[in-house]
Structures are given as structure tokens and as C-alpha cells.
Amino acid sequence: MSPSSSAAFTLNKRLFNPTTYARIRTVWFGDLPTTATTAPPALARKWFGGGPASEQAAFDHACTTSFRDALAALGPDAFALPGLNASTSYAAELAHGPSIAAPFARELADAVGNASDVRAGEEAAADAALGLVLLLDQVPRNVFRGADQALVYAHYDRIARSVARLVLEGKPRADLHPKWRASPAYRLWFYMPLMHSEFVQDQRRYEEVVGEVLAEVERGGDTEAAEYVKRSLEYGKKHRDILERFGRYPHRNEVLGRKMTKEEREWLEAGGETFGTKK
């Protein structure tokens, strides 16, 4: 698909609508208040693993049964992306971004236009934006396991990054809507596509925007929230350190069909970070 054809793609309103976005937030956050500044350990285990295998399987099942049709509607056969030759093609990544994000930009504009007033429209767009980022960046990681992870890294992550940049360039920015701005437990998810990126430039942008979150909560005197955000920054640094050393995440090589270097193999065998995924 050329950039122009991806820009012309139309989202299926049966699958992409306020009800779906609300369902995504419910599956992901459960009953966590939107005012929460931190997430409880039990919820973090659901998101990032560390709990019983049965719990992870149940969460994967919920994501799959609820959202597989929406993901399929954006799969490679339906929403083919412009070519990207290698992880070094950051200029091409940025050049293709607006066309990839175009269908989602229209979705956010529709959320505003269909509302009763500007205030309600901005909230609806902020809700939709968070739902879309979670659907594109997080849900695929629960739906596509094993060899299917290639779909995550090579396809859905590219869409998620484009939408994340759309959010950060928005006027107004959905992540800064009052509903999400003071809640790191919700707000930080807008930026996760940047941390998952193999472009070190995205890692720097992640550190920049999460650093802004940290500065805000520190000004507010919420020490617990500050520690929560600092942990996200520390996790981001782990990602950036790997990229600065290898230029990519070695644990993704196998599923992406990339040849492992001797240094990468030795590093993984010595316990190199895989972020909870199979080496």
C-alpha cells in the first residue's frame, strides 16, 4: 500500500467507536479510578506479567475475544503499510507517519464533531485516543504470542507509533486532557509506543515527555506518583541502553527473521533483557 492509499483507508465504524474504546479501557484498567496516580501491584502484574500463568492466559483471552476483529481490520492484508527498509530508516518512518495516522486523525476529528459541544468533543477525542493507543500498542502483545509477535513489531507497532506522534502533535493534545493529565496510571500509556520503538530518537522523546509528567507530579508534591513515574523512566532507560549498544532489540531477532550477531547471542545467553518475551 502506498502512503496515499493508507491515508485514504476508512475505519469500520462497527469496530471503531466510543463503545469499543470504553471496552478497551475497561479490559485494560478494570475499576481503576481515572483519578488514580499509580496502579496497584495486582494490576501491574496483569499488564506486565509476574502473576500466575492462568491469570495471564485469562487476560490474553479477554483481549483476544474482545478485540481480535478490530485488530484484524487493521492487519497487514487490510491495512498494508508503506515499505520501511530497516530500523535505520527514521526519516522514512517520519515521512510515512502522517499517512498511516490519517484514518485515526479522522476518527478523533469525528469524536469532536459528533459531540454536543466543544468540551464534550475534546473529552470524547481524549477517550478515543487512549483507546486507540492501547489497542494498537498493548493489545497485540496479548493477542499475538510466540512466532506471531512479528506482527506486533513489524506492523502494529508502526501504526501505534504514528498514532502516538499524532497525539503529541495534536492541538489540543489528548494526553493533556484534564481527564488524563494528572493521572500517570492512565497518561503514561500514551507514550508506550515510543518506548517499544527500535529508533533511539523515539526513546529520547519518551524520556522527554515522561520527564514532563514527572516534573508535574513533583510540583504537585505527590511523592508516590513521582516514584511511579521514575520507574517508567528507569524502564525506558533499559530500552535505550540496549538500542545504543546493539541498534535493535536482540530478543526480537528470531521472530523477525534477523540474523543474530555473536555479541547479541552471547549477551542474551548471559541473561540479557528480553522484557518478558521469549528470546
- Mind listing the pLDDT tens digit for each residue in 173-218? 999 999 999 999 999 999 999 999 999 999 999 999 999 999 999 9
- CB atoms closer than 10 angstroms to residue 210: 23
- Check residue 51 and give its pLDDT: 85
Do the domain assignments include residue 255? no
DSSP 83: P
Do the domain assignments include residue 107? yes
Do the domain assignments include residue 199? no
Per the structure, how many domains does the chain have?
1
Phi and psi dihedrals of 39, rounded to 5? -110, 140
Do the domain assignments include residue 127? yes
Do the domain assignments include residue 106? yes
Taking the whole predicted model, whether its pTM rises above 0.85 is answered as yes
Cα separation, 21 vs 17, whole angstroms: 6
Do the domain assignments include residue 201? no
Q: Residue 50 — very low, low, confident or very high, per pLDDT cuts 50/70/90?
A: confident
Whether 160 contacts 81, CB under 8 Å: no
Q: What percent of the chain has pLDDT over 90?
A: 90
Do the domain assignments include residue 228? no
| Rg from Cα positions in the chain | 18
Q: Tell me the residue range of the domain where 39 lies.
A: 3-174
Do the domain assignments include residue 95? yes
